[in-house]
């Protein structure tokens, strides 16, 4: 199934201040995130972009296109998508990867994509973090495999930009 193109909700995006990011999560945010993702380590979680629905999800965001939104799709289709966007497939979990794809249903249906964090750093922020656009919320950092579990499944494919 091809991705859906959606316009960005600029009204929602324009109301949020971006100058204090990244920042550590609040206690309220931590309660929500740690419930959904029990494998998270709080010291790894920083908010990098505010929470609002703005017309895109994690898949489009990992390739730099914030007008794309995907529904759950077969992993084979997602591999073709990343290859068409100039990525090369590398072994799952490879240290050279820029993007990881997660899947549910015994690894058959892509459920989430995450990428290496390359944004600004603040004091105390650990090295080696990954970043995710959590649907429909904020973008946050985390350890590479910390989102694995019931919500997003397991890491099944990795890609690096060619």
pLDDT digits (tens, 9 = 90+) for 22-65: 999 999 999 999 999 999 999 999 999 876 666 678 998 899 98
pLDDT in tens, 19-30: 589 999 999 999
Per the CB < 8 A criterion, the answer to whether 145 and 80 are in contact is no
pLDDT surpassing 90 at residue 7: no
Report whether the peptide linkage leading into residue 160 is cis, meaning its omega lies within 30 degrees of zero.
Answer: no
pLDDT in tens, 116-161: 999 999 999 999 999 999 876 789 999 999 999 999 999 999 999 9
pLDDT surpassing 50 at residue 103: yes
Tell me the C-alpha distance between 129 and 119, whole Å. 10
With cut-offs at 50, 70 and 90, classify the pLDDT of residue 68: confident
- Structure tokens, 32: 């929500």
* Domain boundaries of the chain, sorted by first residue: 4-161
Q: What is the mean pLDDT of residues 85-96?
A: 97
- Structure tokens, 35: 């419930």
């Amino acid at each position: 199934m091809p991705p859906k193109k959606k316009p960005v909700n600029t009204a929602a995006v324009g109301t949020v201040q971006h100058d204090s990011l990244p920042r550590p999560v609040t206690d309220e945010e931590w309660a929500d995130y740690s419930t959904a993702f029990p494998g998270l380590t709080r010291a790894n979680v920083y908010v990098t972009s505010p929470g609002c629905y703005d017309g895109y999800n994690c898949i489009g965001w990992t390739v730099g296109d914030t007008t794309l939104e995907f529904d759950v799709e077969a992993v084979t289709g997602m591999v073709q998508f990343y290859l068409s966007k100039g990525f090369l497939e590398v072994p799952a979990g490879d240290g050279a990867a820029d993007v990881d794809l997660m899947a549910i249903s015994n690894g058959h249906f892509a459920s989430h994509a995450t990428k290496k964090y390359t944004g600004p750093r603040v004091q105390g922020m650990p090295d080696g973090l990954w970043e995710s656009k959590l649907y429909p919320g904020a973008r946050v950092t985390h350890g590479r495999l910390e989102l694995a579990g019931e919500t997003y499944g397991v890491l099944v494919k990795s890609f690096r930009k060619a």
